[in-house]
């Protein structure tokens, strides 16, 4: 949406600001998110809309504090290593799923077995690359077994949501989820909203907020106007230019890096000269200033987040050199050849604006550039499905594991869910680093992988982003570094 249309939305919202929508509960809230979940199954898709809801329904063995510290979750304590490939978890007593099933070792085994089952083709496997299986020791003890040494196994279990074994076989995980978390699923009006209610039997104690309704609102201007009119209490991806126009806002440096993944085997983008040109053609600093107003920074030559262990700090951002980019396209004989840029709109901060701006820069090189902005479920299929790889596809890639293996396994490894290359040598390096326990050796391999990816322009990294939220006057909440919207951490002012 253009700035002009957004300004009109602000004006309309101001006119109707007196017509505040009354909440359904005394302390219920409404959150506007940018994309509807493609499913509520917590283990199969890598879908931010699904996580924004399910992070409140399901829980994990390990958890993180709002500032990112790794702590026990459903595990009673941090795991212990039995041997090089076995980690033992002790589980909390007395925890139950919303349907009454007990949380125990059987639930952990069922959760692990299901998510790593090749038949389920989970898009989340970049988080779980080393996990081979789980073994019950007793009702409250379980061993996680890996296919090699894995120094970040505890972090991987921060991401894997625990499911109820019986319900996973006979229930509807995709449409009516059942977890152990502070909120229970109530209803889902497809295309419109989804409602959760407080779990009065939650093992940590009943949460303060009685219920939450998620509204699916793609357009940032519509989210903004809803916040200003009192319809919404929290909105995601508040545009930087409107931080001073809302009752409250909160921002935090996120773990997301916006990037284009290039199809290195595709007709046009298989030529390294073309890929290099695509990186050189973008004036990233101008985009930071014009689009983000200080709420983003230029990525330093890699899609690996600077907060991740293994980030190559020696890389520099790709410079802006449109004349060299044009020369490279001409040298590659690619002038006039088609390049399709695939993306979506509404999921990430200024995603459509980034896509369209970059497509404009690329058109200046002499390529025939078109954009394909897709509905989110279709976009996820383009990004992680089994079909042909796009020439170029946009994603704001996150790294909640805080380790380079997550982003490398997802985008750089030839078998990664979002990968668009067939580089067997790079895949072998990623696998070697994944099981390397010597920190210095592991870092050295990571540095080499990123250097190779940078030199061959396998991706077009753009920006390290911040998460910006708009809040109603009554909301009290400090966002988390991992972008999880944990409603039990929010408060409604008296």
Contact by Cβ (8 Å): 447, 459: no
Query: Does residue 239 sit within a domain?
Result: yes
Q: What is the pLDDT of residue 87?
A: 98
φ/ψ of 248, rounded to 5, equals -150, 155
| pLDDT tens readout for residues 73-105 | 999 999 999 999 999 999 999 999 999 999 999
Same domain, 380 and 262: yes
Say which CATH number the domain at 405 has.
3.10.105.10
> Cα–Cα distance between 107 and 100 in angstroms, integer?
13
Same domain, 188 and 96: no
Same domain, 329 and 434: yes
Same domain, 479 and 356: no
Low-confidence ranges of the chain (pLDDT < 50): 1-25
Same domain, 20 and 69: no
> Which burial class, exposed, middle or buried, applies to 323 when counting CB atoms under 10 A from its CB (0-12, 13-18, 19+)?
exposed
The two three-digit tokens of residue 4, written as one number: 């002009």
Query: Does residue 174 sit within a domain?
Result: no
Same domain, 367 and 312: yes
Same domain, 407 and 268: yes
Query: Does residue 476 sit within a domain?
Result: yes
Query: Does residue 372 sit within a domain?
Result: yes
Buried b (16+ CB within 10 A) or exposed e, 234-259: bbbbbbbebbebbebbbebbbbbbbb
Query: Does residue 211 sit within a domain?
Result: yes
| pLDDT tens readout for residues 293-352 | 999 999 999 999 999 999 999 999 999 999 999 999 999 999 999 999 999 999 999 999
> Cα–Cα distance between 205 and 246 in angstroms, integer?
33
Same domain, 355 and 377: yes
Q: What angle do CA 56, 73, 52 make, to 5 degrees?
A: 20
Q: What is the pLDDT of residue 308?
A: 94
Query: Does residue 176 sit within a domain?
Result: no
Task: Give the global pTM.
Answer: 0.86
Say which CATH number the domain at 221 has.
3.40.190.10
The two three-digit tokens of residue 369, written as one number: 């550039």
Query: Does residue 175 sit within a domain?
Result: no
Same domain, 238 and 153: no
Same domain, 409 and 281: yes
Q: Which of 116, 141, 169 is the last residue of a domain?
A: 169
Q: Which domain holds residue 72?
A: 62-169
Q: What is the pLDDT of residue 17?
A: 32
Query: Does residue 226 sit within a domain?
Result: yes
Q: Please give the tally of structural domains in the chain.
A: 3
Contact by Cβ (8 Å): 86, 142: no
Q: What is the pLDDT of residue 234?
A: 98
Hey, what's the torsion of the CAs at 312, 313, 314, 320, to 10 degrees?
100
Same domain, 285 and 416: yes
Same domain, 127 and 219: no
* Residue whose C-alpha is closest to residue 103's, from 180, 185, 177, 23: 180
Say which CATH number the domain at 108 has.
3.90.76.10
């Amino acid at each position: 949406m253009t700035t002009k249309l957004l300004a009109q939305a602000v004006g309309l919202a101001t006119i109707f600001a007196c017509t505040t929508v009354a909440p359904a509960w005394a302390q219920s809230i409404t959150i506007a998110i940018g994309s509807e979940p493609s499913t509520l199954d917590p283990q199969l898709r890598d879908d931010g809309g699904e996580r924004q809801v399910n992070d409140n329904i399901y829980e994990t063995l390990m958890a993180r504090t709002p500032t990112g510290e790794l702590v026990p979750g459903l595990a009673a304590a941090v795991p212990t290593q039995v041997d090089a490939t076995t980690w033992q978890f002790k589980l909390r007593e007395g925890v139950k799923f919303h349907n009454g099933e007990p949380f125990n070792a059987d639930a952990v085994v069922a959760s692990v077995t299901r998510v790593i089952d090749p038949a389920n083709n989970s898009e989340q496997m970049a988080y779980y690359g080393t996990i081979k299986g789980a073994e019950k020791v007793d009702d409250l003890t379980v061993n996680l077994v890996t296919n090699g040494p894995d120094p970040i196994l505890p972090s991987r279990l921060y991401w894997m949501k625990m499911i109820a074994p019986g319900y996973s076989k006979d229930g509807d995980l995709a449409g009516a989820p059942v977890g152990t978390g502070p909120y229970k699923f109530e209803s889902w009006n497809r295309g419109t909203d989804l409602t959760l209610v407080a779990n009065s039997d939650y093992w940590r104690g009943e949460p303060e907020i009685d219920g939450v309704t998620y509204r699916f609102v793609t357009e940032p201007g519509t989210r903004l106007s809803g916040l200003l009119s009192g319809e919404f209490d929290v909105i995601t991806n508040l545009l930087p230019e409107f931080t001073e126009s809302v009752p409250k806002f909160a921002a935090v440096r996120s773990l997301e890096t916006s990037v284009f993944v290039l199809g290195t085997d595709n007709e046009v983008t298989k030529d390294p000269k073309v890929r290099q040109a695509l990186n050189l053609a973008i004036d990233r600093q101008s985009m930071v200033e014009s689009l983000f107003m200080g709420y983003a920074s230029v990525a330093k030559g890699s899609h690996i987040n600077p907060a991740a262990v293994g980030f190559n700090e020696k890389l520099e951002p790709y410079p802006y050199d449109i004349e060299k980019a044009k020369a490279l396209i001409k040298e590659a004989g690619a002038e006039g050849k088609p390049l399709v840029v695939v993306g979506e709109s509404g999921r990430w901060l200024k995603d459509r604006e980034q896509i369209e701006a970059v497509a404009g820069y690329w058109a200046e090189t002499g390529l025939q550039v078109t954009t394909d902005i897709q509905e989110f479920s279709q976009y996820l299929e383009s990004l992680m499905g089994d079909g042909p790889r796009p020439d170029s596809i946009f994603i704001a890639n996150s790294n909640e594991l805080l380790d380079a293996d997550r982003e490398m396994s997802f985008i750089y490894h030839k078998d990664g869910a979002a990968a668009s290359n067939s580089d067997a040598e790079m895949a072998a390096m990623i696998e070697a680093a994944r099981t390397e326990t010597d920190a210095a050796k592991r870092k050295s391999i990571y540095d080499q992988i990123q250097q190779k990816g940078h030199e061959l322009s396998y991706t077009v990294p753009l920006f390290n982003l911040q998460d910006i939220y708009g809040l109603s006057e009554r909301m009290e909440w400090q966002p988390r570094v991992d972008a999880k919207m944990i409603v039990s951490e929010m408060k409604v002012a008296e």
